[in-house]
Each structure stands twice: as C-alpha cells, then as structure tokens.
Amino acid sequence: MDHAYHAGLLYLIHLLMGVDGDINETELVALKKVREHEKVPDALYFEFENNVRTLRERELYNRGIALINECTRDEKLSIFATLYKMSEVDGRVHQKEIKLLLYSIESAGIEFDEVVNAAKSTPNYF
C-alpha cells in the first residue's frame, strides 16, 4: 500500500468518526488498530494529524477522495470495507455516517453492494 491509500483512508476515517458530532474512545481505539493493521507510517500519520488541525472539513473530504481515486479498485474496496466496519464500531450507525459512506463510495465509482461484500469477507480486527 502506498501514500494515497493510507492518507485517503485516514482522511475518510477522521470524517466518518466526527460526522455524528461525537468522537468516542471506541472509535479512537479502532483508529489505532487500523493504523497498526494497515501499517500506516508514522510520518504520514503525523502529517495527517497536522492537516486535520488546519484544513476545513470540505478540504479534508476533497483531499481524501482525490487520494482514494489514485488507488486501484481493490484498494478502494479495501478502504470502503474498513470504513463500513468503522461505522459500526461504536455500536450504532448514525444517519450522517451512512450518507457520508454512500456519497464517498459513489464519488469513488464503487457500488455499495461490492463494499458490503468486501466488508463481510474481510477479517474483523477491531
């Protein structure tokens, strides 16, 4: 996996975690597990954290989608399968999380059913 994959994943996870207005401990732990499982380089994560503090939500979304669109189809499916699972990690799926997922999946040219199937066939590491 490369920079576009990891950075795109981080940007959209951040937006997904915050879209319901409440980033809780369960989501932060899940983010850490994603980071470990996906082997996100520390330098990239620190760059991401800095951008999250300085960029507006729309800029984060646009940057995330642009990065994801640089990825292969399989990488996109992997990213959205992870996001799909992240939406469930706090025990409830908020309507705004669903909207963000659907809009992002569409923007990346992927079908929602493909994401659901990929999520079901991917081991859960949360």
Residue spans of the domains in the chain: they are 3-121
- Residues 20 and 63: their CA atoms lie apart, in Å, by 20
Q: For 3-35, write each residue's pLDDT tens digit.
A: 999 999 999 999 999 998 888 899 999 999 999
- Interval 75-98: pLDDT, tens: 999 999 999 999 988 888 889 999
- The three-point CA angle 114-8-28 to 5° equals 95
Global pTM reads: 0.92
CATH (one of 1.10.3680.10, 1.10.357.10, 1.10.3720.10, 3.30.70.20) for 3-121 = 1.10.3680.10
